[in-house]
Amino acid sequence: QRKLKTPLGTLITIENELLALALAQEWHQQYENIDLSSMHLNALLNTTIDNPLKITKTQLVDKIMYFLDWDTVLFRSDHPPEFQQLQTESWDPMLSFINEQFQTNFESTYYLDVKDLVKKNDRDIIQKYLASFDQPSLTIFLFIAEQLKSILLTICLIKQFRTVENISTLSRLETEFQISRWSNVPYYHDYEIVDIRSKISAAYLIFYC
């Protein structure tokens, strides 16, 4: 059997048995043609090991913090009223959890042009929290935040306040609302939610293994 290496030639060594078995299963599911786009564990492990873009820990923190200024949970839509209510019911518990965990004072708004919605003290607290992670963990954290378009939802997931399935749904609340009103577009939205859940599940597994 051939040893598994990253694109830069680094031997992939995994100490956690669960993660090693999951990666092996991912490869076993490949047959005549290897579909790398479906191998989320493999791709993420390659990135964390090789760091091909040579991104520093400070740069990773900055990239993650970018999402705070446009966080889905903070900047909301007030139309239609039914969607406004859905956002309140779905996202307010996330904000309350974050504020309780970090002693912050995050608030949501319905106005996109609000300046300084995120207070400096709250920003510093989240930045300090991120700085407590090592570089591979931050790489995974950034990947999840990119999928969810929300640093706050990512924190809720990392702190195990909600499941991958629930967080994935919360990140695409407007889409779910439209589906509930106009019914689902065959196959497309089903594929979309399965894809985002599989990506986040892979990242979540690596983060905790």
Question: With 60 as the cut, is the pLDDT of residue 167 above it?
Answer: yes
16 and 80 assigned to the same domain: no
Question: With 60 as the cut, is the pLDDT of residue 98 above it?
Answer: yes
Question: With 80 as the cut, is the pLDDT of residue 188 above it?
Answer: no
Domain that holds residue 36: 1-54
- Asked which of 11, 38, 54 is the last residue of a domain, the reply is 54
Q: What is the pLDDT of residue 192?
A: 86
- Asked which of 54, 77, 95 is the last residue of a domain, the reply is 54
Q: What is the pLDDT of residue 1?
A: 64
Question: With 60 as the cut, is the pLDDT of residue 35 above it?
Answer: yes
Q: What is the average pLDDT across 179-184?
A: 75
3-state DSSP assignment of residue 11: strand
38 and 114 assigned to the same domain: no
Question: Can you give the pTM of this predicted structure?
Answer: 0.93
Q: How many domains does the chain have?
A: 2
DSSP 67-97: GGGG-TTTB----SHHHHHHHHHHHHHHHHH
Q: What is the pLDDT of residue 155?
A: 99
6 and 75 assigned to the same domain: no
- Asked which of 54, 75, 96 is the last residue of a domain, the reply is 54
Distances in Å between the Cα of 162 and the Cα atoms of 66, 97, 130, 148, 155 are 23, 11, 19, 13, 10
111 and 49 assigned to the same domain: no
How far apart CA 44 and CA 49 sit, in angstroms, is 9
35 and 102 assigned to the same domain: no
73 and 41 assigned to the same domain: no
Q: What is the pLDDT of residue 108?
A: 97
Residues 6+ apart with CB under 8 A from 193: 168, 169, 172
44 and 80 assigned to the same domain: no
Q: Which amino acid is at 192?
A: E
113 and 192 assigned to the same domain: yes
Q: What is the average pLDDT across 46-68?
A: 97
Q: What would the pLDDT profile of 114-131 be if each residue is shown by its tens digit?
A: 888 999 999 999 999 999
67 and 35 assigned to the same domain: no
Question: With 80 as the cut, is the pLDDT of residue 185 above it?
Answer: no
1 and 104 assigned to the same domain: no
Q: What is the average pLDDT across 32-37?
A: 85
43 and 69 assigned to the same domain: no
104 and 170 assigned to the same domain: yes
Q: What is the average pLDDT across 150-159?
A: 99
CATH number of the domain that residue 191 is part of: 1.10.3580.10
On average, the pLDDT of the chain sits at 94
Among residues 149, 150, 160, which one has the least CA distance to residue 204? Answer: 160
